[in-house]
Structure 1
Amino acid sequence: MSSDERRDSLADQAAAWVPPWQRPTAPSAAPETEDPGDSAPPEGPEPTKISGEIEGAAESAAPDVPVEAGGVGETGGVEGGRGSGEGRGVGEGKGGRGSSAKGSAGRRQRASAPEPPPELDDTELRGALEAILLVVDEPVSELILAQVLEQPAERIGPLLDEIAAGYTAAGHGFELRRAAGGWRLYTRPEYATYVERFVLDGQSVRLTQAALETLAVIAYKQPVTRSRISAIRGVNCDGVIRTLVSRGLVEECGTEPDSGAFLYRTTTMFLEKLGLNSVDDLPPLAPFLPDDVEELADATR
């Protein structure tokens, strides 16, 4: 064979050559024994089959569902799902916040408007007042009694007046009366002798004449300084004033603007011991003054 014929033969073979993955599948019986050296690599019929299936599926799907339309459809589906989820979430969230806001408003309303305490009837309120008045060690005001019993203050005063009138009408050995701006139970004056005999038992602690005079000056001239008291009495009153302060009958109440001296006044205990509601209830001095008071005043000048 000449060289020209050989080249034509090779060209024909190259033109007629078909790649392995495009060759038709031809079943063939595998030899029982194969020489490892002579075995050729697989021609890949399976890749050819798979590729054909993939291409066929793509061609069959292409006319019905375009790739772009499918992508948009899938995206739209995802976005639609997300939108519905977000809608439900937002709706539920808003509903939850609304419920929470309503609950907070309700709690604030309940906190701002507490339920009023139950109102006691007259019998129970009377008993509660009597029980408190039996244990107090100083006069208690109507406002404090109303706060403790959680009752309107308008009910306390009239009921205390009624209780006091009832004690007086029944002739009890004690009475309820106002003193030092409040209410307290006291023994009746007609039984004072028996009470003193029981309490003092022969021992009596009394104020001296000087202390009584000084206390009277302070009661009628309050607030007053020590120098003013000494000028009225004509003697030094420092020791007597200290005694009255230690007994709780007199207390300091500031200083005089001009001299800076301490001012003194009577205390609540003073009103309580005398059974007075205020210093305005002190008896007037005119009936106790001597007839020649003006001559005495001129003499002292």
Structure 2
Amino acid sequence: MPSAGPVSLLRSRLESLLLVADEPTTAADFARLLGEPEEAVTAALTEISTEFSDRGMGFDLREREGAWRLYTRRENSATVEAKILDGAQTRLSRAALETLAVVAYRQPVTRSQVAAVRGVNCDGVMRTLTLRGLVKEVGVTGEVGGAHLYATTELFLEQLGIGSLDALPDLAPLLPEVDQIDLS
């Protein structure tokens, strides 16, 4: 573990960038922003991550798929959740949970495809999920008038505490294939 003395300017600047980063960032991107060699940035990120872990800090610096991000320590999830939920009604309605499940298992998917699976209009629910950052627009279909395509976000994965959609339970066989849904 590094000494308790002053940290390097590179490390100090990296820590500042990590605090304001709203998405995982690669060492190459940090290096470009800081005008530093990528190897030095990677070494500093690894040092920070190791120190946070060794000291049992309230947060972790994790690297996933070549990108780095600060996360709250898993052991503190109940405390963090209590703070987030304190005074705010953040529970999703049954309709929102159903819609989110359809999007998660059949993405990318259009609103009309989600509505066809659920059997009801889902425009309002999709807007709510988009505003909460759980679903995002990822493109348009190739058809005339191209309908918007939606998928889940990194926040969705973080909220579930999983690293990828592959970690979802195997429920997909219970849902109809998107291309088999009759939209007429």
Using a 3 Å threshold, how does the CA distance of structure 1 residues 180 and 243 change in structure 2: closer, same or farther? farther
**1:140-179 to 2 correspondences below 5 Å:** 140-178=25-63
Query: Relative CO higher for 1 or 2, CA cutoff 8 Å, sep ≥ 6?
Result: 2
Instruction: Give the TM-score normalised by structure 1.
Output: 0.47
**1:80-119 to 2 correspondences below 5 Å:** none
Is the counterpart of residue 283 in structure 1 residue 172 in structure 2? no
Is the counterpart of residue 193 in structure 1 residue 81 in structure 2? no
Q: Mark the runs of 5 or more structure 2 residues left unpaired by the alignment.
A: 1-6, 178-184
RMSD: 3.4
| Corresponding residue SS for 1:264 | strand
CA offsets 1:169-192 (integer angstroms, 9 cap, x no match)? 221121112469742222212222
CA contact (8 A) 1:250 1:264 kept: yes
| Corresponding residue SS for 1:191 | helix
Find the partner of 1:262 among 148, 158, 170.
Answer: 148
Match of 2:138 in 1: 253
CA contact (8 A) 1:141 1:183 kept: yes
Using a 3 Å threshold, how does the CA distance of structure 1 residues 236 and 270 change in structure 2: closer, same or farther? same
Distance in 2, matches of 1:276 and 1:216, equals: 15
Distance in 2, matches of 1:198 and 1:158, equals: 34
Q: CA deviation at 1:167?
A: 1.5
| Amino acid aligned to 1:147 | R
Match of 1:15 in 2: none
Q: Which has the larger radius of gyration?
A: 1
Using a 3 Å threshold, how does the CA distance of structure 1 residues 267 and 193 change in structure 2: closer, same or farther? closer
Q: In the comparison of the two structures, how many residue pairs are matched?
A: 171
CA contact (8 A) 1:175 1:185 kept: yes
| Amino acid aligned to 1:229 | V
Runs of 4+ in 1 over 6 A off after TM superposition: none
Q: CA deviation at 1:150?
A: 0.7
CA contact (8 A) 2:136 2:153 kept: yes
| Corresponding residue SS for 2:61 | strand
CA contact (8 A) 1:180 1:271 kept: no
Using a 3 Å threshold, how does the CA distance of structure 1 residues 285 and 194 change in structure 2: closer, same or farther? closer
Distance in 2, matches of 1:190 and 1:261, equals: 42
